[in-house]
Amino acid sequence: LIFSGKKQVSAYLCYMDTDWSGLHARIGLLGGGQLGRMIIQKAIDWDLDIHVLDPDSQAPCFDLCAHFTVGSLNDFHTVLAFGEDKDILTVEMENVNIEALEELEKKGVRIYPQPRVLKTIRDKGLQKEFYRLHGIPTAPFKLFNSIDVQDIAQHLPCVQKLRTGGYDGKGVQILRTEADLERAFSEPSVVEEWIPFEKEISVIVSRNVKGENSVYPAVECEFNPEANLVEFLFSPAEIKPEIEKKAQDIALGIIDDLQMVGLLAVEFFLTKDQELLVNEIAPRPHNSGHHTIECNATSQFEQFLRAILNLPFGDTRTTHTGAMINLLGAEGQEGDVQYVGLENLLSVDGVYPHIYGKRKTKPYRKMGHITLTADSLNELKSKAEKIKNMISVQGKTN
């Protein structure tokens, strides 16, 4: 465990120069996917100097950054070499070589979010231990190093999550009956109580080097049960103000407990008896904040930049009622991507497609998203269904 109490955590921070501002910094970004792309799209406004490292020269960031290095995010020497001449290093994914980041941190490179935060969050076991240590409400859980069918059987129905390496809905499964145990993961995992929740909500918080923080209004997520991915998001969430306040306080508490610099998405289950349980956290801009580009005074991408550059935070207020639909690769479709219906979509008012520029599609791959605005949540809900059926992400094999 990285954390064994609050006092120890603070010790990591004593060297920090809180007056520093990173507007003129040389910024290294690990990962060149869609999150990086939307970060860069915002960074253009401030003419920031962003350098990207990604293994794929066809990554979504490639065409729109001045400095792109092709290389592995998991290789110690590659990450070290990439980071050495940067003032700040940041990530758009957790799955990077953290040992190299720790080495760079020692050399004086600012790593935001900090390597110790990435270490805690990317291992779902450590994440759960952290909640337990800090009294953060979460579903009861048990850690497994390998499969122990007899033990797991006592906890059915349960959710099994790989401790590391899962992403975009992969590495997570519900085990309902003893028959399901046949497909239980044998790698180190977290097994947690299955929560029959009423809603899933998400709150995004951020914190800069000075320790100032900021929180967004809560949003509501509807998952696609097959892909285990957010299918629709609605903002604001239809929950009682006191529930929203409580979720915001928990989220702010987590980023403060982590003493993290950066942006943190906190996903909650809201149970039928109105209890909030933290499901997962992500230390970066998040799918549940994409609507903020059009629907809030400050987007999550701008707020993320403000956090890591140690700038004051922008206004998080909701300016438009909005929905977000993920554009996932259609089932059974693979190859060169085609967005069938995109032109028709553009004839509807308040529709903002974001195409990530990935060349190849495959089933359930995140290829883009669409933000919708309308005057009311009711209007949005029917609009979202209609829009979703107007577009399909298809593939063409050559």
Q: Give whole-number Cα distances, 182 to 152, 154, 187, in Å.
A: 11, 15, 14
45 binds its own copies (CB under 8 A): yes
CB of 314: closest distance to its own copies in angstroms?
7
Token representation of residue 356: 């990530």
Convert residues 294-333 into a mask of x (bound to its own copies by CB under 8 A) and - (unbound).
---x--------x----xx-xx---xx-------------
CB of 308: closest distance to its own copies in angstroms?
14
Contact set for its own copies, span 279-298 (CB under 8 A)? 297
Beta carbons within 8 Å of 202's beta carbon, 6+ residues apart: 218, 219, 220, 221, 233, 265, 266, 267, 268, 286, 288, 289
350 binds its own copies (CB under 8 A): yes
Calculate the CA 68 to chain-centre distance: 22
The correct pick among 154, 346, 375, 382 for binding its own copies (CB under 8 A) is 346
What would you report as the CA-atom Rg of the chain, rounded to the nearest whole angstrom? 21
Burial of residue 246 (CB within 10 Å: 0-12, 13-18, 19+) is: buried
State which residue, 286 or 354, has the beta carbon closest to its own copies: 354
Beta carbons within 8 Å of 68's beta carbon, 6+ residues apart: 32, 51, 52, 54, 57, 59, 61, 62
The correct pick among 357, 362, 366, 393 for binding its own copies (CB under 8 A) is 357
CB of 392: closest distance to its own copies in angstroms?
15
What is the per-residue burial (b if ≥16 Cβ within 10 Å, else e) of 201-236?
bbbbbbbbbeeebbbbbbbbbbeeeebbbbbbbbbb
The correct pick among 29, 33, 37, 158 for binding its own copies (CB under 8 A) is 37
> Which segment (6-14, 58-66, 151-159, 188-196) binds its own copies by CB under 8 A?
58-66
CB of 96: closest distance to its own copies in angstroms?
24
State which residue, 151 or 336, has the beta carbon closest to its own copies: 336
117 binds its own copies (CB under 8 A): no
Please state, in angstroms and rounded to a whole number, the distance separating the CA atoms of residues 263 and 268: 16
Q: List residues near its own copies by CB under 8 A.
A: 21, 23, 37, 40-41, 44-47, 62-66, 297, 306, 311-312, 314-315, 319-320, 342-343, 346-347, 349-350, 352-357, 373
